[in-house]
Amino acid sequence: MQKKNLGKTGWSVSIISFGAIKLPRISLKECEPLLNRALDSGINYIDTADCYGDSEEKIGQVLKKRRKEFYLSTKVDERDGPGVRAKLDRCLRRLQTEWIDLLFFHDVRGGEYERIFNTGGLEELLKAQKKGEITHLGISIHNNLTMMRQAVESGVFSVLMVAYSALDEDRLTADLLPLAASRGVGLVAMKPLAGGRLGNMPPRGWNKSLFQGESPAQIALRYVLSNPHITCAIPGMMALNELEENLRVGKTPRKLSAEEIKEFMAMAAEAGKGFCRNCGYCLPCPEGISIPDVFRYESYYRNYGLEGWAKEQYRVLTPDAQACSDCQTCLDRCPYGVSIPSNLKKAHNLLMGQ
């Protein structure tokens, strides 16, 4: 398995690492061979989150005897000191470990970045770091480029996790990723298959000969890893065949040809039509709706099996998608042809159980 340095952590991390977001969809019995095979095959970084159902419990139960063989990251969505401390305690307990290698502030958005610094969340994690409960701090941000820059320039975070795929690269590659790399901030690519959308290509024929017999998912991963600033991708996995497919990318690295890139990007553009990339170009909404968040919770519900969590997050979103007045201001701003007003209604009905 090829490995790369993860920024200022100094860790040598497998370029294909294990995203555990889909583990709640399978049984503990199914997790055992999957996680053990991942480690046996050279994967040495596993990423989960407090909100990923019972993912932490399954990792803890299956891998507690192999804890020193891999780097482990999890995420907390609290921002204040007491909330962060409580979540960290729960993570340690559920993961059955004495330390977490990388603890992320999860999905930071809106005014939450400032709250990390002002309400004790960061202070609490720095205390935990001194106690040896965590080794490095990270932050995951889905779409706010200004906030990403702030995080990189703060010097606080060792790792930035970004949604990065062939559908996202135009927003990040020109400026943000090179800046992070220059500051020693490691870059982890979440959603490298755009929530599975790129893995389910093509809308038209797939030229196996051109792509050397590889699948759309494998080419999508190779494309992400072709960016020199990205250390690793963490595709979500829940089956051995998915794991084996992804492992081949990490074990047999190769450079995509210009012809492969041209064909793949054309197909990705086709697959991405009408697909929300959570870029935020549609904002601000005149009604105050956080449009990217609505569609992201819908994606968590549909693609990752996190129905309960997605509903909980959506139901505290104010205002929700029902406030859409169909003014269509967002349609003029969206560069990807997303039918935002009608899709907001669909998302609302799904997340409200209607």
> For residue 105, is it within any domain?
yes
Backbone angles phi and psi of 3, in degrees to 5? -130, 155
Sequence-ordered list of residues with C-beta below 8 angstroms from that of 136, at least 6 positions apart, any chain: 8, 9, 101, 102, 103, 129, 158, 159
**pLDDT given for residue 280 in this prediction:** 80
Token pair 């190769």: residue: 254
Q: Could you give the count of Cα atoms lying within 13 Å of 75 in the half-sphere of its Cβ?
A: 24
Q: How confident is the model at residue 332 (pLDDT cuts 50, 70, 90)?
A: confident
How many independent structural domains does the chain possess?
2
Sequence-ordered list of residues with C-beta below 8 angstroms from that of 351, at least 6 positions apart, any chain: 294, 297, 298, 301, 310, 311, 314, 315
Say whether both 267 and 296 belong to one domain. no
Q: CB–CB of 160/138 below 8 Å?
A: yes
The residue from 237, 271, 305 where one domain ends is 271
CB atoms within 10 A of CB 70: 20
Residue numbers of the domain that contains 313: 291-351
In this predicted structure, the answer to whether residue 118 has a pLDDT above a threshold of 90 is: yes
Q: What average pLDDT does the structure give for the chain?
A: 93
Mean pLDDT across 307-322: 92
Say whether both 325 and 261 belong to one domain. no
> For residue 36, is it within any domain?
yes
H-helix segments, the chain: 28-40, 55-63, 81-95, 112-118, 121-131, 145-154, 169-172, 176-182, 216-225, 240-251, 258-271, 291-304, 307-315, 329-333, 340-351
Q: CB–CB of 187/162 below 8 Å?
A: yes
> For residue 285, is it within any domain?
no
Say whether both 307 and 263 belong to one domain. no
d(CA 170, CA 333): 16
> For residue 278, is it within any domain?
no
Mean pLDDT across 277-300: 89
d(CA 23, CA 93): 18
Q: How confident is the model at residue 273 (pLDDT cuts 50, 70, 90)?
A: confident
**pLDDT given for residue 203 in this prediction:** 64
In this predicted structure, the answer to whether residue 143 has a pLDDT above a threshold of 80 is: no
**pLDDT given for residue 171 in this prediction:** 67
> For residue 316, is it within any domain?
yes
Q: How confident is the model at residue 169 (pLDDT cuts 50, 70, 90)?
A: low
The residue among 121, 107, 133, 139 whose CA lies nearest residue 7 is 139
**pLDDT given for residue 147 in this prediction:** 93
Q: Write down the pTM of the prediction.
A: 0.88
